[in-house]
Chains A and B, each alone.
Chain A
């Protein structure tokens, strides 16, 4: 069955992500097809959940959307700009300015305080340190971590670490937030509180794409797509 996933809930909103026939092949001794013929449009303000089994290509898809990886075939336009014509510097700029990443392993720098970790966002698109620090304070405040600004990652709980990482993702006010199994390292209680944060961001108008293998979490998303052996399909009866 041909994957035709161009429908959006609100077609009046401009498109942020536009994937056309995306394929990703890995070479090596045993060549792997991680993605094949993926078509996906995501509009501003949407919250899309990507589900699928382990090894089905979820992370690969997310990395391509986040411009950390490049597809081997197909075309990808971000915010109306085809990424194929962008210079490496422009691509890196979009990662810095327009995209916030949230990872399963948090990826906080252990030797830096929570505030310093959050303030790293925007460093590589030339935002001055002072401004970044101000934004970082605001983001930590928003996530209820104002008191933990000076704390180091080792002194934070798993849930707090992920909230610091979320603060880092949002503090530069990006166009898109990408989460790869953000609650994979957290218990159900803490996972739920993280989902509530995403829900709140979504309500505020943020565009989010979240990879998860916890089907329960899809209730927070506008749309759910599923990957299976590199092929993408829309999950029609997603409950809202």
Chain B
């Protein structure tokens, strides 16, 4: 009874459907390979280029990362309109900052405003107030020499003693020393800022973080405060910090409070960028190109599969008729062809992806880069292949499903 009530519908089991598709793809492997050659090539190129871009961006961000994550900058936030000189940094700034966990070294410095205090740098006292063009005077604490390690070319830097006692000492930038004709410190040298004498303690190499030092005279910040007063809004006081790896962003948040718990807003923090922003720029400029390449890859693959499937459908007309005689409905023929092309595309995607990955690894090995490969890429290849195959299969599948079984069976 139960058996007689069974619905009389044409149907195929999912497992059997998959078996049919697999049989079709595996029955003629060389033909299968020919059919998907375009898809393999297209997807290999696509995956190769994405992987290459990601790896290249990875190299850039790696550099940004190490630099930016260990350095930051604080600037005294003086209103630009204000003519009044001011200093928000407390006198014990260096101590407060270096007390923070993760700070390696720090230095407070500013450029003495040459508009307010025109200074002539010379080996003899001068009494006019004529600026030495091209040269500047910098005020800094002794932290500078910790910060710019191994920066002394000859001589010694000034230290906390000099800073505490507002000593008249100076360290010269390399170009300044050349300009003043000082290249040997075996004999003591004295320079004059206008009429004020300073003993030269040493000569600096160039400092990467502060290239202007090359053409400057550096004097203790306390000495500068006494002689020339507080920095102005045009050249406000700044502090540069070096932190432990990756601590910069955290310190950036803490530093203003450590310096001035009462007025943390007095400092502009130049926080390290989120490194992904830097790479995002690189990637977005390439994404347009990538979309174009993806479409091209799809097209190449599509045409290959569609063309070869159309040919094979013509050869398989009797098979289509037979399937109809065996109870297949047009939708079963449609699904069969679409399934076959989707599978072909998927196989092409898998092979193409493997080739693309191999190419990336090869390039990275040659360039000694770290390969950066998004795990999503491992899914993207086959998925793109399946998509290509499915699109390629639509026209042949519809055509095949419309073949009349009677005509198909007359076809010899």
A interface residues with partner B (beta carbon < 8 Å): 59, 63, 66, 68-69, 88-90, 92-97, 101, 103, 105, 107, 109, 111-112, 116, 120-126, 128-129
Contact = CB atoms under 8 A, between A and B. Distances in A.
A123 B327 CA distance: 8
B27 A96 contact: no
Given A68-B405, A92-B327, A125-B10, 4 more contacts: A95-B10, A107-B318, A107-B325, A124-B329
A95 B20 CA distance: 19
9 interchain residue pairs of minimum CB distance = A96-B327, A92-B10, A124-B327, A111-B27, A93-B8, A95-B327, A107-B322, A89-B9, A101-B325
B260 interface: no
Interface of B: 8-13, 15-16, 19-20, 23-24, 27-28, 318-319, 321-329, 332, 405-406, 409-410, 412
Contacts of A90: 8-10
B412 A66 contact: no
Contact of A96 (B10, B16, B405, B410): B10
Contacts of B13: 126, 128-129
B406 A97 contact: no
Contacts, number: 92
B219 to A, nearest CB: 91
Interface hub of B11, B15, B16, B410 (most chain A Cβ within 10 A): B16
Contacts of B326: 95-96, 101, 120-124
Contacts of A89: 9-10, 329
Contacts of A107: 318-319, 321-322, 325, 409
Interface hub of B319, B323, B325 (most chain A Cβ within 10 A): B325
13 contacts: A59-B410, A66-B325, A89-B9, A92-B10, A93-B9, A93-B10, A97-B8, A97-B327, A105-B318, A107-B319, A107-B409, A121-B326, A129-B15
B317 to A, nearest CB: 10
B319 A109 contact: yes
B412 A112 contact: no
A123 B9 contact: no
Contact of B332 (A68, A103, A124, A128): A124
Given A109-B319, A112-B27, A124 B8 contact: no
Contacts of A121: 326
A129 B12 CA distance: 10
A94 B323 CA distance: 13
B323 A124 contact: yes
A129 B406 contact: no
A140 to B, nearest CB: 17
Contacts of B323: 120, 124
A235 B16 CA distance: 45
Given A93-B9, A112-B23, A124-B332, A129 B16 contact: yes
Contacts of A94: 8, 327
B406 to A, nearest CB: 6
A125 B16 CA distance: 11
Contacts of B406: 63, 68-69
Contacts of A68: 324-325, 405-406, 409
A127 to B, nearest CB: 8
A110 B112 CA distance: 93
B11 A105 contact: no
Nearest to A81: B8
A101 B410 CA distance: 13
B28 A111 contact: yes
Contact of A123 (B20, B319, B405): B20
Contacts of A125: 10-11, 327
Contacts of A126: 11-13
Contact of B23 (A63, A101, A116, A122): A116
A192 to B, nearest CB: 23
A40 B322 CA distance: 26
B30 to A, nearest CB: 12
B10 to A, nearest CB: 3
B341 to A, nearest CB: 16
Contact of B10 (A63, A109, A124): A124
A108 to B, nearest CB: 8
A236 to B, nearest CB: 31
Contacts of B329: 88-89, 92, 124
B395 to A, nearest CB: 23
B412 A105 contact: yes
A126 B327 CA distance: 10
Interface hub of B10, B12, B327, B405 (most chain A Cβ within 10 A): B327
A94 B324 CA distance: 12
Contacts of A93: 8-11, 327
Given A123-B16, A123-B20, A92 B328 contact: yes
B133 to A, nearest CB: 89
A12 B20 CA distance: 43
Nearest to A185: B412
Contacts of B8: 90, 93-94, 97
